[in-house]
Amino acid sequence: MLSADGVPLSRRYFSPDSGKDLDNDETVRGYEIEKEKYVIVTDEELERLDPEKSRDIDLRRFVNKDDIPPIYFEHAYFLAPAGKSVKAYQLVAETMERSGRAGIATFVMRDKEYLIAILAEDGILRAETLRFSDEVRSAKDLNFP
């Protein structure tokens, strides 16, 4: 980062309690759990939270597909059968489509775990990544009359 006149900027950490500038080795990560109340989070704790890398989709349950409001859908991905699983894929897709059900599952992509809805349409399975409720604004937040 540069200032408007092209001078490189520096980032510093400052303790308002001691009035002292802190070096990187004098800082730790923290998470605010209440107003002005923090818990320290270590690198080891963050590493243990990393999702395990896998090519699997972990199907958790089936729900009525109409019970998932479209506002929660984020990105769509087509799911293709792997290897010799074409018949099983077609059976699952046909059964889900006929019953009006969606599968709720998780999977890991690029070191991040995603919640997804698996939907069937025209014999093809589609995974829709889902937003969490705290990521969706309510119409009430807009202050409309």
- Percent of the chain that is helix, strand, coil (3-state, to 5): 25, 40, 35
Question: Mean pLDDT per 10-residue run, the chain (145 residues)?
Answer: 91 88 88 91 81 78 95 94 90 96 91 91 95 84 76
Single-letter amino acid code for the residue at 26: E
Q: Where are the domains of the chain?
A: 13-49, 58-135
Structure tokens at 28: 């730790």
What confidence score (pLDDT) does residue 67 get?
95
Measure the CA–CA gap between 136 and 92, rounded to whole angstroms. 30
For residue 2, what is the DSSP state? B
pLDDT at 104: 96
pTM exceeds 0.75: no
pLDDT at 111: 77
Residue 115, pLDDT score: 93
Q: Which residues pair with 105 in a beta bridge?
A: 59, 116
Q: Which CATH architecture has domain 58-135?
A: Beta Barrel (2.40)
